[in-house]
Structure 1
Amino acid sequence: KPGEQKHPKEPPSLQCMHLAVVACGDRLEETLIMLKSAVLFSSRRLCFHIFAEDSLKPEFEKKLKEWPSSYTKKFESNIYPITFSVGNAQEWKKLFKPCAAQRLFLPVILKDVDSLLYVDTDVLFLRPIDDIWHILKEFNSTQLAAMAPEHEIPKIGWYSRFARHPYYGTTGVNSGVMLMNLTRIRSTHFKNSLIPAGLTWEEMLYPLYQKYKNYITWGDQDLLNIIFYFNPECLYVFPCQWNYRPDHCMYGSNCRGAEEEGVSVLHGNRGVFHDDKQPTFKALYEVIRDFPFEDNLFQSLYYPLQSKFLDTVHTLCGRIPQVFLKQIEKTMKKVYENRVIVYLGANHRY
């Protein structure tokens, strides 16, 4: 059931993949569609950690309970209030987007969680979370978080042109999809520009914000870029198909990983799920939103998507439909193969 506590001694095969999101203001529907995409395609059990304004908590509880039991049994959900453990809460709340800074405090709040995937509300999974979860095993001994580059081409990247603060690598990183080993984050002393000695994550956050607050534009993402500028050995950079944004196609396709493998995680930043600037992104959002849980994935999701994409060919993103469809088609086939195996196995037993 949603909200029930995980048994501490469950076998590894049943252990949760932890997914965290922060929802404030009008982000209820968007967050639910993101969670829906996670549940539709993932194999292993999911634990949702939803940080929400008080007014949204009953709405989340109500909506998640309305999902069919065949899906609610695949996850448990915990809903938390927005809290900041250091510094001025009102100041943190105003950083970039309402409540976005909450994510910086996840290592401090979720003390019993070893690792998690944080995503912005405007994200859709087009393949099982299991696949991005496996990246945790690819971390070397110093890496404790993973993000994708902010841009693939430095000369047209935002950070390389406009940033007034240190940032990671040549283009900076985008924090909309962030894999975190919280245990390592909690136990690490980070190099910084504040004092010669290392600081823990919690010790560093507020002084870092105070130092750079007049120079940052993208809030928590900028602070993360500053942290990993000073601690590059701590970051694993995953390829752009794991955080695919309009910038990857609106000026021409520039995410090679997505061209080869298809988009794995779609990030509809700058509101593109809700306006008409990037109809390809909006089409994916609407099709997943409107998909009835128990329906046939191909009939009620894939084919409507193909149909909607025909209306997007006037845009550069719309001219590469295979980039958006490749991974989701593969994922659907896998979902059906798994169902057939389970079904045949059940029949065989009886």
Structure 2
Amino acid sequence: MRCYFHAFFLCVVFTFCSLLYVLSKVASSLEEGEEESSVRNRRVPHRSSHDAGHLLRKGPGLLGLRQPENELDRCKSLSVSYWNPYWRLPADVCGVNCLLESTLGERPDSAVKAHSDERSHLAVVACGPRLEETLTMMKSAVLFSQKPLHFYIFAEDNLHEGFRHSLDSWPSTVQTKFKFTLYSITFPKENANEWKKLFKPCASQRLFLPVCLESSFIYMTIIHIRDDYIFATCPHYFFLLLSFFQLILKEVDSLLYVDTDILFLNPVEDMWALLSQFNSSQLAAMAPEHEEPRIGWYNRFARHPYYGKTGINSGVMLMNMTRLREKLFKNDLTTVALHWEQILMPLLQKYKLNITWGDQDLLNIIFHHNPESLYMFPCQWNYRPDHCMYGSNCQQAEQEGVFILHGNRGVYHNDKQPAFRAVYEAIQKYPFGENMEALLLEPLEESLQAATHTYCGRASHTFTRSLKQSVTSVQQDVTQRRQSGHHIEITP
């Protein structure tokens, strides 16, 4: 008799919950128009994260510091459950954030620091045999930066332990200068294989850094009929299945994405400072693919729209993530402007037979139709073999030196451009804490002397000009610390 009572009671509970679900969906559909209007009224058009006195915070960093009313704090006060499902939450709150920060599950590090965030935020995507190359890129960033860094490493799962082991083995004085977070490679589940194999393995992950990716999450609300309590693990269960959107890097307002084959010859904060030069409509910054149209690829061979006269290169990409998430992009798919996450797959479907460089081509198409949204920085911030292999064609590098070296075409690991390989090996072999001038600059200059038979080798003075200034700055800082009589560490 008791079993029949249990079955009857569970049926009643299930019916009641189903009725509440239907009512909540009806209510949410009625409120949708009102919520969207409210959100539009709350938004400030063309916001800049660097305008003094603005609603956004003064410098790039944590989104939680953007507004007087902290969104994370407001999110924590909401209880996500069957009775208050995530689709009933305000339209500007991602459901999983509230789910994980509500009473159903708290993130231990969810508290946001009250002080301003001075870190530079860097993202990189590593797949296949890219572990050592990525670590060398990170090493170059840490060596010359005076301010703390936060690395967001998106890597295949089999590489995670290698990253942890290597970074944890760096000297403690170096580790105080940076933090890192590891993520698995994540694509929209409907087209994951297509995105992963679009160009180089996992390269198109960069397209999804600012957006919500739909995932499947199962939260089990367990109900067991007992006289004294209603929660236990036993044969009588009621399972509530929830799906949610995972917002990658939700707390990051601005982000610098770099390929694994990047080497910083200047402090990262110099590149980070370019965010302050964005006007009210710009949300991303990249360098031209070519300075010389006669050797340009896009203007000679592309079968799709591209930005400007020679296209853009996405190996170094500075982004205001907040603006990018809010922007409605013009496109050649529909007369209706679309959000970033809405435009990616339709563009891939339309142009996948005409694109050669994968995700970089998609970025060229997007910014071709939205040129006002892109800030162009000069070639010295993304200096590649194309700038010297046919003769020097980056005037800014000739005048001020190379700030960021981009060793595409695999030149760090072959003999085609020995000048690029020499810089990579000098940074890779340099032992932390030793004299940079003696153990980094001098070996590098000696190696570059052997590369003068190539055009890039003849232009190698541009590689060391800015690097010498960076080394001098670091050495002076070390000397000042020693003279002060105590060691001062930069804490993240």
- The residue number in structure 1 matching 2:401 is 262
- The residue number in structure 2 matching 1:122 is 261
User: 2:306 aligned to 147, 167, 187, which one?
Assistant: 167
Instruction: Please report how far the alpha carbon of residue 7 of structure 1 lies from its aligned counterpart in structure 2 after TM superposition.
Output: 6.2
CA–CA distance in structure 1, aligned partners of residues 269 and 111 of structure 2: 20
Q: Is the 8 A contact 2:125 2:203 kept in 1?
A: yes
Give the share of equivalent positions with the same residue, in percent: 60
- The residue number in structure 1 matching 2:133 is 30
CA–CA distance in structure 2, aligned partners of residues 112 and 210 of structure 1: 31
- The residue number in structure 1 matching 2:120 is 17
- The residue number in structure 2 matching 1:79 is 182
In structure 2, give the amino acid aligned to 1:9: K
Q: Bigger radius of gyration, 1 or 2?
A: 2
Tell me which stretches of 4 or more aligned residues in structure 1 moved more than 4 Å.
4-7, 346-349
CA–CA distance in structure 1, aligned partners of residues 413 and 343 of structure 2: 36
Asked which structure has the greater RCO (Cα within 8 Å, sep 6+), the reply is: 1
- Unaligned stretches of 5+ in structure 1? none
- Given the alignment of the two structures, is residue 182 of structure 1 paired with residue 316 of structure 2, yes or no? no
- The residue number in structure 2 matching 1:47 is 150
CA–CA distance in structure 2, aligned partners of residues 294 and 141 of structure 1: 42
- The residue number in structure 2 matching 1:250 is 389
CA–CA distance in structure 1, aligned partners of residues 199 and 183 of structure 2: 21
Instruction: Please report how far the alpha carbon of residue 111 of structure 1 lies from its aligned counterpart in structure 2 after TM superposition.
Output: 1.5
- Given the alignment of the two structures, is residue 225 of structure 1 paired with residue 364 of structure 2, yes or no? yes
**TM-score normalized by the length of structure 1:** 0.96
Q: Alignment RMSD, CA only?
A: 1.6
Instruction: Please report how far the alpha carbon of residue 70 of structure 1 lies from its aligned counterpart in structure 2 after TM superposition.
Output: 1.0
Instruction: Please report how far the alpha carbon of residue 110 of structure 1 lies from its aligned counterpart in structure 2 after TM superposition.
Output: 1.3
SS in 1 for 2:152: strand
In structure 1, give the amino acid aligned to 2:122: L
CA–CA distance in structure 1, aligned partners of residues 274 and 402 of structure 2: 16
**TM-score normalized by the length of structure 2:** 0.68
SS in 2 for 1:236: strand
SS in 2 for 1:88: helix
Q: List per-residue Cα deviations over 1:14-53 (Å, max 9, x = no partner).
A: 5321000000000000000000000000111100000000
User: 1:290 aligned to 402, 425, 429, which one?
Assistant: 429
- Given the alignment of the two structures, is residue 204 of structure 1 paired with residue 308 of structure 2, yes or no? no
Instruction: Please report how far the alpha carbon of residue 346 of structure 1 lies from its aligned counterpart in structure 2 after TM superposition.
Output: 4.4
SS in 1 for 2:150: strand
In structure 2, give the amino acid aligned to 1:20: A
Q: List per-residue Cα deviations over 1:90-109 (Å, max 9, x = no partner).
A: 00000110000100000021
- Given the alignment of the two structures, is residue 8 of structure 1 paired with residue 147 of structure 2, yes or no? no
User: 2:442 aligned to 303, 311, 315, which one?
Assistant: 303
- The residue number in structure 1 matching 2:73 is none
Q: Is the 8 A contact 1:48 1:76 kept in 2?
A: yes
Q: Is the 8 A contact 2:124 2:152 kept in 1?
A: yes
- Given the alignment of the two structures, is residue 341 of structure 1 paired with residue 480 of structure 2, yes or no? yes
- The residue number in structure 1 matching 2:70 is none
Aligned residues: 345
Q: Is the 8 A contact 2:481 2:487 kept in 1?
A: no
In structure 2, give the amino acid aligned to 1:327: S
Instruction: Please report how far the alpha carbon of residue 86 of structure 1 lies from its aligned counterpart in structure 2 after TM superposition.
Output: 6.4
